[in-house]
Chain A
């Protein structure tokens, strides 16, 4: 069974940084692209970023304006999201999501970690 467990969320002041982590189990991690999807409280889903199976390719939502960096460590079966210059509008639940070998549907989701950006 696939498990994705996020950590690293919390309360952070505007302008500061935060790093989210996700540990995966139950599948061959380095075979699949991985993604981060976020959801502001009471709002819809927004894809944040995705990374290829080997980390060579990454994509980001245009709304982020280069503030976030996705990475992965296949030896540790872990996915990361470095979030810099955080803004109040980045407040959301951040989900770690399993993709496909290439592009495709998001077939497994973590439980989410809440990031709150506030002074």
Chain B
């Protein structure tokens, strides 16, 4: 199985801050990397697919980058409604998720 290491596991930031989450794959996954947002009590929602493509309807403050084994997810200006847990997921092989990053407002 391909292991996905996501850091940090939790993050506290202020409204308006730039926030970055890192995801590292245990082997080359090309750009087969997606990012999801999960709010408490809700199902996950796809935000970014294939490393850097914004899903339809997702605000442009969200972005993704990277290829191979190292990927980043960025919120350019944190908004109160962005409070959630974020997960990366690879699909180069059988799908696996990162451990998640819980984002809180400072």
A residues neighboring B (CB under 8 Å): 35, 37, 44-47, 50, 59, 61-62, 95, 103-107, 109-112
- Contact: A109 with B45, CB < 8 Å? yes
Kindly state the separation between the CA atoms of A107 and B57 in the bound complex, as whole angstroms.
12
Q: Is the interface of B mostly helix, strand, loop or mixed?
A: loop
Count of interface residues, chain B, beta-carbon cutoff 8 Å: 22
B residues neighboring A (CB under 8 Å): 1, 32, 34, 36, 38, 43-46, 49-50, 55, 87, 89, 91, 94-100
The contact of A44 among B43, B49, B94, B100, by CB within 8 Å, is B100
**The 8 residue pairs across chains A and B that have the minimum distance between CB atoms:** A109-B43, A105-B49, A47-B95, A105-B34, A45-B97, A44-B100, A107-B46, A103-B91
Kindly state the separation between the CA atoms of A46 and B87 in the bound complex, as whole angstroms.
11
